[in-house]
Structure 1
Amino acid sequence: MYVSVAHFCTPILHYTLITYYENNNCKDKGDKKAIFYCQRQNDLKTVQGAYFSKVDNELFNILFEDNKISRIKESNFTYDSGVESENNESNSESIREIKVRVGQQKFSRQVKENFNFECCFPDCRFNEERHLVGAHIVRWSDNVQTRKDVRNGLSLCKLHDADFELGVFTLDRQYRIRVNKKYFETEDESSWVSTNLLPCEYKKIKKCRELPAIEYIKGHWDRIDFSPDT
């Protein structure tokens, strides 16, 4: 996501952005945002490929609240693909995309915090944030009401996140791992499912502050067409 600041940076907005950057640079490494910009003679520049690589809630509000959108030219927005916006509809779509990504990042962070920055799968040792995903139980696109609810999330490493998304395993009402039978009944004893998932069947996920909501877990059962209660 690249947002150019050229041509619309008013003096007040310029000062606010500089303050944001300076505060960001003072943060610890784990909390610091990966933001690339160029500042020369107290003026923000977009030369040398300067851009925002991440936009959090604070930065989004600085840029887009209080009708600042009306001062942003369409040419200042690009998609991840690098294709420039050509009309107001494309411009609005870019803004919506930024909002979605900011919301997803915030949700992911809250979910990982809820599980103490560990993969909640039993016996999994991944506990570095870069290896973790704040996964939705009910998909982001399937239900607007559940998007921000931390009880709709699981902190999983990328391998277990992929298996959960595919429906290779789910959770039962006691928050235990249950492997989808259609995956392990047809695989040999050396497969990933047999060697890494089945040994954890009936083990509970790791402790968290707020347990996932059972109604969301049941939604996962419906989506993958597997109910561990039957």
Structure 2
Amino acid sequence: ANIIEALEAGTKLLLVDEDTAATNFMIRDRRMQELIAKDKEPITPFIDKVKQLYTEYGVSTILVMGGSGDYFDVADTVIAMDNFQPQDVTEKAQLIAEKYFTERTAEGGKNFGTITPRVPLAHGIDPSRGRKAVKLKVRDVDEVGFGAENIDLSAVEQIVEVGQLRGISKALVYAKEHYIDERLTLSEILDLVMKDIEEKGLDVLTFFPEGDLVQFRPLELAAALNRLRTLSVL
């Protein structure tokens, strides 16, 4: 879900750490494939989609891994850390892949699949509460009160400063007031909001300069919108 969310938001690079990714998401080896047939396993391993992601959508992946050499088969570049120094070992990894065939069956199909653009609906984005047309309350870096709803961003580790969350909450209101019109897709809305910020600064999000907003990425703005429980889309 996080990958599809990032792709819809327009990312061109995924950073994946083996230590924080589920094992069956990363790889299913030949023995596990033999024990549990594909039709019994709903998750398609990333190893069978990562190349398609690049060839079909131009999205690269930097993967930190130390537990499976099966990725040698799909890697364009392999870098090993030797005494904290990076070493290009691509040629060696390719020779190893040729020498030790994995024998696993690819499960990704012929294509990555369609990324369906969604159109947010304005009625599902309501910052009002009581008599206040806009009621926002930022709680540290992991939660924002948006109208009558609480948006839980505790799993969005890229938000590191409370000012970013203030900016994101203001940007949600700004997006609704200016661009959410039941015609524009989420990615188009993100582009327009970020373009306005780039051209006019973060003050474009508020009626007057507030001085406590911090720059954020469109990915985190999308994450906040996607975690708004009242969000409705076409």
Query: Looking at both structures, which has the greater relative contact order when contacts are Cα pairs under 8 Å and sequence separation is at least 6?
Result: 2
Please say whether Structure 1 and Structure 2 have the same fold, judged by a TM-score greater than 0.5: no
Report the TM-score, using the length of structure 1 for normalisation.
0.27
